[in-house]
């Protein structure tokens, strides 16, 4: 028998699509010192659970066999820390070097660590950008939906580190999601999560910014029945990557690339 929460969720997911929002009204995240903190951080923990249930299972498979004695797992863009339990389950005994420049995301991340002593004893949170935050060595690197936010300097630093500071065979797990090239994406509600009397909705749509960049619009809504009582809309750009793009970029560094689900696995031979 369906519960009231399940019935509400099913009803919400059949509602008609949201109308477009004038881009002038959207927060321009790329112009902020904290792009995720302007809106996304507030809602990420609620709306990303389903995504991480799938991604976390893939990480456990890919990271099996990683030797934690070679150094920590580097989690690039650790966000709220929602993926940290999967990393520690995948590699028992590992430490994690969690790189998260967003103050908004770190607020939730620090709260998670305070409430979970297992994580607090294993996870170091580094607030610096990737180019300044990589440790001396590592046993693996994880990037969940982050690669498209890294500029050329950060990517050069990342692949150089993988080629020189990871042991042979150690994985760099880079999540690569379609579209692989910019296209028009109609508004879609990707999550609707009931909490108390309200329901939290996540919407996204996109358009090409150039031949490699997508301009994504994310809208976060707090809904009471049929009434939207709060809404935040934010725009940001994201560089599209295909598995072949990643393979071509890492080849000059002496690295190889294979696919596993939604991820490209880069390794030093």
pLDDT band at 11 (very low <50, low <70, confident <90, very high): very low
Whether the Cβ atoms of residue 171 and residue 66 lie closer than 8 Å to each other: yes
- Taking only the tens place, the pLDDT of each residue in 196-240 is 999 999 999 999 999 999 999 999 999 999 999 999 999 999 999
Question: Is 163's pLDDT higher than 60?
Answer: yes
Q: What is the pTM of this model?
A: 0.88
Q: To the nearest whole number, what is the mean pLDDT of the chain?
A: 90
Question: Is 5's pLDDT higher than 50?
Answer: no
Distance CA 43, CA 48 (A): 8
> Residue 133: its pLDDT value, please?
98
Distance CA 176, CA 22 (A): 29
Sign of the four-CA dihedral 174, 176, 182, 186: negative
DSSP 166: S
Q: What is the largest CA-CA distance in the chain?
A: 57
Q: For 9, left (φ over 0), alpha (ψ -120 to 50), or beta? A: alpha
Pairing label, strands 256-260, 263-267: antiparallel
> Residue 50: its pLDDT value, please?
87
Question: Is 262's pLDDT higher than 80?
Answer: yes
Question: Is 4's pLDDT higher than 70?
Answer: no
Domains of the chain, start order: 4-31+179-239 (no CATH), 47-176+241-267 (3.40.50.150)
Question: Is 152's pLDDT higher than 80?
Answer: yes
- Taking only the tens place, the pLDDT of each residue in 65-74 is 999 999 999 9
> Residue 20: its pLDDT value, please?
52
51 or 36, higher pLDDT: 51
């Amino acid at each position: 028998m369906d519960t009231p929460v399940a019935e509400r969720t099913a009803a919400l997911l059949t509602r008609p699509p949201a109308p477009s929002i004038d881009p002038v009204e959207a927060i321009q995240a790329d112009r902020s010192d904290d792009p995720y903190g302007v809106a996304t951080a507030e809602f990420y923990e609620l709306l990303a659970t389903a995504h991480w249930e799938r991604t976390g299972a893939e990480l456990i498979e890919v990271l099996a066999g990683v030797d934690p004695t070679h150094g920590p797992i580097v989690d690039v863009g650790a966000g709220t820390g929602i993926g940290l339990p999967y990393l520690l389950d995948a590699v028992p005994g590992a430490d994690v070097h969690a790189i998260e420049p967003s103050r908004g995301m770190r607020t939730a991340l620090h709260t998670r660590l305070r409430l979970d002593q297992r994580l607090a004893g294993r996870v170091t949170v580094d607030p610096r950008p990737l180019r300044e935050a990589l440790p001396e060595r590592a046993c693996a690197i994880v990037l969940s939906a982050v690669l498209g936010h890294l500029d050329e300097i950060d990517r050069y630093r990342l692949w150089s580190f993988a080629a020189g500071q990871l042991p042979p065979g150690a994985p760099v797990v880079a999540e690569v999601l379609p579209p692989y090239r910019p296209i028009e994406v109609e508004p879609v509600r990707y999550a609707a999560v009931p909490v108390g009397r309200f329901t939290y909705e996540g919407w996204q749509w996109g358009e090409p910014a150039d031949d490699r960049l997508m301009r994504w619009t994310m809208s976060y809504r707090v809904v009471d029945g049929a009434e939207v009582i709060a809404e935040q809309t934010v725009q940001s750009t994201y560089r599209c990557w295909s598995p072949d793009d990643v393979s071509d970029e890492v080849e000059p560094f002496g690295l190889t690339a294979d696919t596993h689900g939604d991820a490209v696995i880069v390794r030093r031979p």
